[in-house]
Structure 1
Amino acid sequence: MLTVVGYYDWQSDEKSVSDQDFFVHCSGRYRLLHKEEFQTERPLGAANYQLIYVADGKAHFRIKGKLQILEKGSCVLFHPGDPQFYYYYLKDHPDVYWVHFSCKKDNLFLSQTGWGEENIYNVGVHNSYIHLFDGIIQELQLKQPLCEEQLKLMMQQLLLKMGRNRIRENKTFENYNKEVEEALRIFHLSPEKDFTIREFARERGLNYYRFIDTFTKHVGTSPRQYIINIRMTTAKELLTNPLFQISEVAQLTGYENPLYFSRLFKKIWGLSPTEFRQQAEKGG
């Protein structure tokens, strides 16, 4: 299982609470690669809020005694004390992000952005969510100066984007382009695959220019840049594992030329793979 996590401190978990107005304790990503299943059962729930976002595949939740199978684009908000039962299975190809945070029960920001007492929300598939989750995880890992304030802003931005897009998805889901949904699924399953967008469109009988325009409109970036973003995010995760050489990370993310990979990585993240690895090892 691919596991990437970040903690404010190593005591931060589902038991953590804060008296601050808004505080992020920990965040992470789970993606099953070989393990057949992963399950969490907390009959008494957590002391804080937990937001779980299904970025790809499917995830199983038992909420209020009823089993719910949620697909990508769905999220679950567990309130403090809500029983938590959720299960991931390899056959469903789940790719899930999560975050634990504290805020006051009558927090005005939550209510203003559409987060009520219910647990399940359809917020759609949006690349901006992934960037924010990855940013939150990295902020928790590196703990730069003023990280508490930065985490608060990023968490609120995530909730705001999801709230706005939830309204949009409820109105336009019927018209959501299936070609884009299929592309997103394939890009996430095999981001390292060597193909051109023109070939991708031709294999599916799509008009190349229409596909580019439609994808960019719905996702906010071009298909090629979206694939690069996935690859570079995966590269960051792999670089935190010292067992992988940089040349191996390049190959695993679809780049035969390690020098080209290193230049592209630095262009995206501002650090070379070696510098990023050194910084991650030092914890800041």
Structure 2
Amino acid sequence: MVLYRPREEQRYYYGADQTEVYWVHFTGNNVKNFLRRYGIADDTRIIYTGISIEYKNLFMSMIEELNLQRIDYEEMLINYFMILLISLHRIALQKPRKKNLQNMNDMEQAAQYFRMHYNKPISIEDYAVSHNMSISWFIQNFRQYANTTPAQYVQSLRLTNAKMLLETTNYNITEIANLVGYENPLYFSRFFRKQCGMSPSQFRKQLVLNAENCPK
């Protein structure tokens, strides 16, 4: 993550590799001390966070709050931002581990593959074997790299994109299930309910109700 401070030139990145970029703009009277509290020094510009789908989930939650502007949405935005800072602080306090550069490259390549093919049948075992890695070694190193297992990473990608499709398209549940990689819409609905506490149709209905109740 890159941190721009007041009056610094902000460079927006739009690469040919179609990298997803999220921005959070914040201000206040005591920002410098606020950042120090979470281990971000005055001269910090780049924060090495590792890769985790939870970051994207946080940003997507912020975007949803801004779009719907439900009651107390500003306070909810602050809470999401605080969660982000706490996550960064915890990473900074961890003892650094010596990691083989080639291993890191292998895990980054795996994460990129999952992001590109999450909506297709993926076998973690086949991926590991095809890249000359033992299954247990691959899962262990991917967990260290992304703070989650490969299977959980793929599921998070599918869930995040399912939410986006429910919010921004008129596809029915079966179509969305297929689009994010589930051939069985019933299994998709069960998985969605387990993760979100409601069915996909209830999730979409809630979005509609919140939008209708939003002050004009």
Higher deviation after alignment, 253-262 or 128-137: 128-137
Alpha-carbon distance in 1 for matches of 2:110, 2:89:
24
Query: Partner residue of 2:29?
Result: 104
Higher deviation after alignment, 95-104 or 140-149: 140-149
Identity of aligned residues (%): 36
Alpha-carbon distance in 2 for matches of 1:142, 1:180:
36
Q: Secondary structure at the match of 1:125?
A: coil
**Structure 2: 5+ residue stretches without partners:** 212-216
Aligned amino acid, residue 102 of structure 1: T
Query: Partner residue of 1:23?
Result: none
Query: 1:39-82: per-residue Cα shift (whole Å, max 9, x none)?
Result: xxxxxxxxxxxxxxxxxxxxxxxxxxxxxxxxxxxx22222333
Query: Partner residue of 1:4?
Result: none
Alpha-carbon distance in 2 for matches of 1:121, 1:94:
18
Bigger strand share: 1
Query: Partner residue of 2:135?
Result: 208
Bigger helix share: 2
Matched, 1:130 2:56: yes
Q: How does 1:42-121 map to 2 (within 5 A)?
A: 75-89=1-15, 91-113=16-38, 114-121=40-47
The 3 A distance-change label for structure 1 pair 126 and 115 is farther
User: How far is 1:143 from its partner?
Assistant: 4.6
Aligned amino acid, residue 127 of structure 2: F
Alpha-carbon distance in 2 for matches of 1:183, 1:228:
15
Q: Secondary structure at the match of 1:98?
A: coil
User: How far is 1:104 from its partner?
Assistant: 2.3
The 3 A distance-change label for structure 1 pair 205 and 140 is same
RMSD of aligned C-alpha atoms? 2.5
Contact persistence 1:76–1:120 (CA under 8 A) = yes
Count the aligned residue pairs.
208
**Structure 1: 5+ residue stretches without partners:** 1-74
Query: Partner residue of 2:210?
Result: 283
Query: 1:76-99: per-residue Cα shift (whole Å, max 9, x none)?
Result: 22223333332413x313112222
Matched, 1:262 2:189: yes
Q: Secondary structure at the match of 1:157?
A: helix
* Runs of 4+ in structure 1 over 6 Å off: none
